[in-house]
Amino acid sequence: MKSYVYLMIGALMISQISNAEQAIFAGGCFWCMEPPFEKLTGIQEVIAGYTRGTGSNPTYKDYAQKGHIEAVQVTFDPQKISYPELLDIFWRQINPTDAGGQFGDRGPQYRSAIFYHTPEQKKLAEQSKEQLAQSGRFDKPIVTEIVPAQPFYKAEEYHQNYAKNHPWRYKWFRSGSGRDAYLRKIWSPQNKPKIAKNSKKTAKNTFKKPSDEQLRTILTSLQYKVTQQNGTEPPFKNMYWNNTEPGIYVDIVSGEPLFSSSDQFISKSGWPSFTKPLEPSNIIEKRGWFSTEVRSKQADSHLGDVFKDGPPPTGLRYCMNSAALRFIPVKDLEKKGYGKYLKLFK
């Protein structure tokens, strides 16, 4: 029996590893780059280390001399968190206009960079960088490099999880470097992106749907079938049909808010069901002969259908596909940019 249990555990671990992907980011001192990613759902491991240099087996004493940069290697589950989401977190940790280092850490070994593993990661990184440059948030050019991934060398053990192992030293260092003060200023609600006077674009419609090729890479085969080909996932065998954790549901492609757990109920259908949308303006309903299809407005994802057999107070049942949704638990709302919905759960 024990042998069987060990075999099953081993198989599960192999399955998890095979589904994982990696991303490498450099943003100055790697002590400060670990915590933001470690907090996210879907992150399996974050390692501090060195990369980009010419010399092998670098150490903290010689990595700069060998041309390496301090960086973090992030192993993540793409079914739970996407690469574009990681890019968004990355930009919010650095000064992308500084070519001479990051905050109190100066020199080429502290410059910012994104290291891509695949052509798709490269394309998404370049798009993300371009969007940031056009946002008007910065008054200087974005100089963060986007370069191919090279061998990554794990740093010494005392550098790993530094924020957890030395919390007071970490807080003192991070605050003293000027990083926190800069990021608070740049990303504060008061620092609204500047929009060109002659531009008719507004900040509301900044989402640009990825190409079909990109979607096939970003989404799982089931997510693609449901959202792009109007498919339906199996009942009772999907992620959220019986979810009772508080939080909100967003579109798997665009991240636009769609439904709240406050309006969710466990139906006999086997799919996540809601009495009403969280943001009606993000929902499009298309009446058909036998049902009314529900799609997201920005991403135009097929979400499911709405029926008139729901409970009070609306009498409606928005029957959705889990594969079309991403769940954001209450504890993650603020850090993932959905802080305004916290009031729903107080």
Supply the residues annotated as catalytic: 29, 319
Question: Is the link from the previous residue into 58 a cis peptide, with omega within 30 of 0?
Answer: no
Phi and psi angles of residue 37, each rounded to the nearest 5 degrees, phi first: -85, -35
**Separation CA 256–CA 203 (nearest Å):** 14
Assign residue 196 a region (left: φ > 0; alpha: ψ between -120 and 50; beta: otherwise).
beta
Q: What is the rounded distance in angstroms from the CA atom of residue 164 to the CA atom of residue 53?
A: 28
Contact 244, 328 (CB under 8 A): no
Give the SS3 label for residue 323: helix
CA distance linking residue 295 with residue 227, whole number of Å:
9
Half-sphere exposure of 219 (CA within 13 A, CB side): 27
- Tokens 């608070």 map to which residue? 184
**Burial, 70: exposed, middle or buried (Cβ in 10 Å; 0-12, 13-18, 19+)?**
buried
